[in-house]
Amino acid sequence: MKRIGITGPTGAGKTTALNVLTELGAHIIDADQVYHDLLAHSTPMGDALTARFGSAILDETGQVDRKALGSVVFADPTALADLNAITHRFIIEEIDRQAAQAETDGRSAVAIDAIALIESGVGETCDAVVGILAPREIRIRRIMAREGIPEDYARKRVEAQQGDGFFRAHCTHILENQGTAEEFGRKALALFQTLIP
């Protein structure tokens, strides 16, 4: 079974690429969703986070409060690095579990959608890492339309992410998304058909 990593900045067109992979029979694993599910349900990860950051990150029910955790880590690069070190280990374990289940189910491929695919080490577990890129101004317009946010906020979101050079340096394949969704879908299909036997 092929393991394909999908990454790239927000607004570049990862959803379109993932839809093509779904049509080809791949099982999609959304790393962001895995993280949120683990925060809500994984006692071992919750315990590890509490051991590092203290009980102030818990809500009244004893669950990790994402906002409280965020307020601790985003102002402190060391705390953010510690958060990533703790959570990436659990996320990788869950991705491996889901991938094994997909293989048991007879899937020909699993696609792992993760904005921090490379930084987390998940990319190293993939047969191919595909970076989805699109021009900055197009991405800004897409984010504004999709999320109903003002232009200045969309620009800040885009500027906070890795630049195209990072993805070009670390991905095995690059898909450029500059035309219509249909054109990009055809381009994605052509690439994925070469990656999935």
Residue 159 pLDDT? 87
Low-confidence winner among 45-49, 67-71, 127-131 (lowest mean pLDDT): 67-71
The CA distance from 129 to 148, in Å, is 30
Q: Name the strands in the sheet holding 109-113, side by side, starting at the edge strand that comes first in the sequence.
A: 27-30, 109-113, 2-7, 128-133, 173-176
Tokens of 46: 């919750």
| DSSP helix/strand/coil, 48 | helix
- Cα-flanking dihedrals φ and ψ of residue 4, to 5°? -115, 125
Give whole-number Cα distances, 7 to 59, 61, 62, 159, 166, in Å.
Answer: 32, 34, 33, 16, 11
Tokens of 100: 């094994």
Please tell me the pTM assigned to this model: 0.87
Residue 75 pLDDT? 79
CA angle 141, 149, 158 (to 5 degrees): 55
| DSSP helix/strand/coil, 104 | helix
Tokens of 10: 């927000």
Task: Provide the 10 A C-beta neighbour count for residue 55.
Answer: 7
- Residue 71 — very low, low, confident or very high, per pLDDT cuts 50/70/90? confident
Q: Which of 168 and 116 is assigned the larger pLDDT?
A: 168
- Residue 179 — very low, low, confident or very high, per pLDDT cuts 50/70/90? confident
The CA distance from 23 to 183, in Å, is 16
Residue type, 81: A
Average pLDDT of the residues in 45-70 = 93
- Residue 74 — very low, low, confident or very high, per pLDDT cuts 50/70/90? confident
